[in-house]
Amino acid sequence: MTPGAKQTLLPFASSPSYTLGVELEFQTLDNETLNLAPLAPILLENAPVILKPKITHEWIRSILEIRTGICKTLRDVENDLLQTCSIAEELAADNNCLLYAASLHPFARSHDQLLTKDPRYERIMEELQIVGRRFISQGFHVHVGMIDGDTAVRVCDLIQPYLPLFLALSASSPFFQGEDTGLMSYRTKLFEALPLAGIYEPIGDWENFVSDVWQLQEAGVIESIKDLWWDARPHPGFGTLEIRACDLPAQFGDILGITALIQCFVATLAESKMVTTSCNQQFLRSNKWQAVRYGLDGSFFDPLGFLGEGKMSIRMAVCTLIEKLQPMVQAFRCERYINMLKRILDHGTGADSQRRIYAKTADFKKVVQQLHEKFWA
């Protein structure tokens, strides 16, 4: 099949540049036990009409995904999520459920969770076995509109070395099945156990991406691009670049701040003259591990030199990135949202909050309770 013929099989639906879409995967908890409970199907069934287009099921029945529509600005994202999350919380309360924002529940057991009834999920679970049964994490995805496939691929390649910065800011999964993992984002390690997940090879251009997807489908490796669980990937159906590396932040302001940073960085890279260059994959793996293990206190080496030469802390790398992005921050008039990152930089992430609460209480239920109370703070 010729390259042109292949591309007609996977057209890129161009979007207005730098529009936004956000997906949040909330845990559904029993109101009394605060344990994971398979309540998402009940919430979906009982949802009011206004809410139905904004919520959907996920991998297990104790996850409810909330998503925005297409948003032109960060203010649109904020208003969309405020309305949807508020209605969803009322729906949850009416069904003895609590919606919880973190990427792993601190004491729930993976073997107790129920798979969502879906042919694709059932096929994947049959393949993954214990890897799939342990995969009870929640994520936070940001879509940024791209004018064409080549731009989406170029930015996807360029942004990969910096994805650990977003991961470190969002880290919220230190506990798993009643144990402190010693990591800031154990979700990431569960996710990396999936096939075709995590760090990806540089793509080059849209023609290469289409060819790669076509070959993988022809070989029976994947059924669709949904089976490419990369940390970032072009989304041809939406006409976006999808950033998938993040944990689900524990506070609403953190979600908005990280979304603003992603939008500004994607736009800056898209408008730049930077071209895709291959870099040592070991730098990418090391940087990602530092974010997983230490969060903002980890170390970072910039293989492309955009943030400077030599090793720096992830916290310093984030601060430098914010400075570099100021022209785009001003162009998007999103200073208020970027400033929300100061709370994370000064006081820590959701993972830090969970550890502080547990250090004081030695009670995982109090961790859930108190973290939930801080979501809108």
Axis crossing angle, helix 149-159 with helix 206-218, rounded to the nearest 10: 90
pLDDT at 277: 80
Handedness of CA 47, 51, 56, 61 (dihedral sign): negative
User: 70, 21 in Cβ contact below 8 A?
Assistant: yes
Tell me the backbone φ, ψ of residue 375, rounded to 5 degrees.
-55, -45
d(CA 162, CA 141): 16
Burial label for 80, CB within 10 Å (0-12, 13-18, 19+), is buried
Question: Which pLDDT belongs to residue 129?
Answer: 98
pLDDT tens, N- to C-terminus, the chain (377 residues): 555 555 567 999 999 999 999 999 999 999 999 999 999 999 999 999 999 999 999 999 999 999 999 999 999 999 999 999 999 999 999 999 999 999 999 999 999 999 999 999 999 999 999 999 999 999 999 999 999 999 999 999 999 999 999 999 999 999 999 999 999 999 999 999 999 999 999 999 999 999 999 999 999 999 999 999 999 999 999 999 999 999 999 999 999 999 999 999 999 999 999 988 888 999 999 999 999 999 999 999 999 999 999 999 999 999 999 999 999 999 999 999 999 999 999 999 999 999 999 999 999 999 999 999 999 98
Give the bridge partners for 71, in sequence order.
20
Q: CB-hemisphere CA count at 13 Å for 64?
A: 31
Number of CB atoms found within 10 A of residue 322's CB: 20
Topology adopted by domain 3-372: Creatine Kinase; Chain A, domain 2 (3.30.590)
Render the burial of 36-71: b for 16+ CB within 10 Å, e for the rest.
Answer: bbbbbebbbeebeeebeebbbbbbbbbbbbbbbebb
- Domain extents for the chain? 3-372
pLDDT of residue 279: 87
Q: How many CB atoms sit inside 10 A of residue 150's CB?
A: 17
Instruction: Identify whether the C-beta of residue 63 lies closer than 8 Å to the C-beta of residue 26.
Output: yes
Question: Cβ distance 350 to 247 under 8 Å?
Answer: yes
Query: Where are the strands (E) in the chain, listed by range?
Result: 20-30, 55-57, 63-67, 97-100, 139-145, 175-176, 179-180, 197-198, 229-230, 232-235, 240-247, 299-301, 311-313
Task: In whole angstroms, give the CA distance from residue 130 to residue 111.
Answer: 9
Per DSSP, 238 falls in state T
Helix, coil or strand: residue 17: coil
What pLDDT was estimated at residue 5?
A: 52
What local confidence, expressed as pLDDT, does residue 7 receive?
56
Beta strand residue intervals within 86-218, DSSP E: 97-100, 139-145, 175-176, 179-180, 197-198
Q: Are 295 and 170 in contact (CB under 8 A)?
A: no
pLDDT of residue 72: 98
Which residue in 70, 67, 27, 11 sits closest to 210, CA to CA? 11
- Other C-beta atoms closer than 10 Å to the C-beta of 119 total 7
Rounded Cα distance, 205 and 11, in Å:
14
Residues in Cβ contact with 69 at an 8 Å cutoff, skipping those fewer than 6 apart:
21, 53, 54, 80
